Structure 1
Amino acid sequence: MSAPQGQMTALRAIAPARSGNVFEETIECLLQIIRLGIIPPGQRFPPERELADQLGISRATLREAISELQSAGWVNVRRGRGGGTFVTKSRVNVGPGGVVTGGAGPQRIDDSPGSGFSPEEVDDTLMWRKVIEIGIAEVAAAQGLTAAQRGQLAAALEASRDSDMASYRRLDSQLHLTWAQMTGSPSLVRSMVESRTRANKLLEHIPMIEPNLVHSHEQHQHIHEAILAGDPEAARTAMAEHLEGTAALLRGFLADPQ
């Protein structure tokens, strides 16, 4: 059964932007649909093919996004006759480090939008990150790096890439701090520390999503290569894309639709 015309118009209006973060933006888009009540609790999304067409994304991307939202308790996928993707009222508990806890009887947490963060606080943190971390990537790429510094960068990248879910955010923060250290500016290092501290306070309230981590590793590689190549513009572009992917998830999970 097709969705009502008004509903489909709303879905098209919220469709993810065409960028390098389609998966993350699809998560954000689906969460906006749920939070805004376009698909109310207990009701189902349009059929997969129809929804993917309306959002302008591949069915594979849509399936991945729905799978992650099901793991986080936002939707329930039912198979067979009368099945589909249904919106639920609550989500599963997010444990230490932002890892979703599951099991036979997952605990439930407060479903109030934003987990206590105001829209202004989320936006301010994202803006701070954008200004500080993009600038740091640009400055780091403009430095003449020594062999020892290049080795330090490679080690930090490898540690982040090889991390497990429990240690990912710690090693991700270390990688970003290593980029800041390459600038040679103690002030920029302190600014990166503040940026990561503020970001991690938000990230602790959203689930860790494996496809996003894979995507982040790829983006880390692009930033790393731009810094090593001494290409400030490429470093800026790669960091901006990386931060926007994280921002899309944070806006999706924490934004208040009111």
Structure 2
Amino acid sequence: MTSAAPSASRDGSAAACSPSTPTPRSTSRRRSAGRSSRVWAASTGWLRSRRTPSSRRCSWPGPRSRREGDLYATPVPSLEPIAGLGPIDIAPAYEVVVAYLRRGIHLGEFPPGCKLPSERDLAEQLGVSRATLREALRELKGAGYVDIRRGPGGGVFVRQRTMSGAELRTWFAEQGTEMDAVFEFRAVVEPLAARRAAARADTVLIAELSALNERMATTTEVGAFRQADLRFHLRIAEAAGADLVRHAVEEARAALFLPFQPLDLDQMRERTVPEHERIVQGLKDADAAAAATAMEQHVRGTAHALASGSRRG
């Protein structure tokens, strides 16, 4: 049975939003209805009232009785359902956990080889049941993101995958187009972030970036190198002073997940550290053009190095 929410008229009568006969309302209830937003229910074709905070209220005039001088004297035509709207797909809890942990792995927050917190602690931190967490971990294991080890010293570990030359070439052949698009996006957004950051850089930012680059120059762990590299780029995006720019850089980095290490650590260090130094120097000199150019060259150089590494494999 479908009910319709009436809209109160100025002369005290109520005009229905649907063909059904409206139920009379008291004055107080009419006021309450006036404070409610009108939400289109696409599944039924009628308007229903849903109370929302006034700051987020959406106004819809609704049909009203004819009255001289009434702004709404002309009947309002029926609203049509918005094209493309449909039922909202609410993901199961375990899928939300999978997405959260996968994103952390992509962004290097959980580097290869690291051990995740215990099942009890992780479930508590995420606010889910242990059964939900177990289902999420099984999904991640099946996708090759983690290993689950039992017994003493066991736990959930982020996988460090290795690939043969043939596997490497196959992976790049399948993912190359998407990677090209992500790097092209980075080559546009990250130089913009560097340009904006150059006008805002202070001694604290320069010191932090220099420390991150020094960590990359000295670490012997690939995971630590990746974490420092990620933080270097995100810190510049944050310094740009625009949330959308920071978010765009973060999303691009999350999308650019490599399930393997195509270059060895020394190769990465030899190329990345000097390029980062040029970016930092541009920021330090408040030279927006130099910082942006150095960043673009770095991003495009990274794309070229990855592609070359796949061909050599």
What TM-score results when the alignment is normalised by the length of structure 2? 0.43
1:238 aligns with 2:294: yes
**Structure 2 match to 1:50:** none
| 2:266 matched residue in structure 1 | 210
Q: Structure 2 vs 1, CA of residues 157 and 207 (structure 1 numbering), >3 Å: closer, same or farther?
A: closer
Q: 2:204 aligns with which of 148, 171, 180?
A: 148
C-alpha deviation, 1:125, in angstroms: 1.2
Pairing 1:113–2:170 present = yes
> 1:141 touches 1:231 (CA, 8 Å); kept in 2?
yes
Identity %: 22
1:158 aligns with 2:218: no
Equivalent residue in structure 1 for 2:237, among 165, 180, 186? 180
1:137 partner SS: helix
Residue aligning to 2:279: 223
Q: 1:214 to 1:186 in 2, by over 3 A?
A: same
User: Would you tell me which structure has more helix in proportion to its own residues?
Assistant: 1
Report how far residue 246 of structure 1 moved: 1.0
SS in 2 for 1:110: helix
Aligned ranges 1:1-258 → 2 under 5 Å = 110=167, 112-115=169-172, 117-143=174-200, 145-166=201-222, 167-199=224-256, 201-202=257-258, 204=260, 206-254=262-310
Does structure 1 retain, via aligned residues, the 8 Å contact 2:263–2:306?
A: no
Q: Offset of 1:97 from its aligned partner?
A: 5.5
Aligned residues of 1:150 and 1:228 also touching (Cα < 8 A): yes
Q: Deviations over 1:53-90 (max 9, x none)?
A: xxxxxxxxxxxxxxxxxxxxxxxxxxxxxxxxxxxxxx
Counterpart CA distance in 2 for 1:212 and 1:108 is 19
In 2, the alpha carbon distance for the partners of 1:208 and 1:219 equals: 17
Q: Is the 8 A contact 1:160 1:175 kept in 2?
A: no
User: Could you tell me the TM-score, scaled by structure 1's length?
Assistant: 0.51
1:240/1:146 Cα in 2 relative to 1: closer, same or farther (>3 Å)?
closer
Which amino acid counterpart does residue 175 of structure 1 have in structure 2? F
Q: Which sections of structure 2, spanning at least 5 residues, go unmatched?
A: 1-157
Answer 1 or 2: higher relative contact order, Cα 8 Å, separation at least 6.
Answer: 1
Q: Distance in 2 between matches of 1:112 and 1:138?
A: 36
Contact 1:156 1:175 in 2 (8 A): yes
Superposed CA deviations along residues 21-56 of structure 1, whole A, max 9, x for unmatched, are xxxxxxxxxxxxxxxxxxxxxxxxxxxxxxxxxxxx
Query: Where in structure 1 are there 5+ consecutive unaligned residues?
Result: 1-94, 102-106
Larger Rg: 2
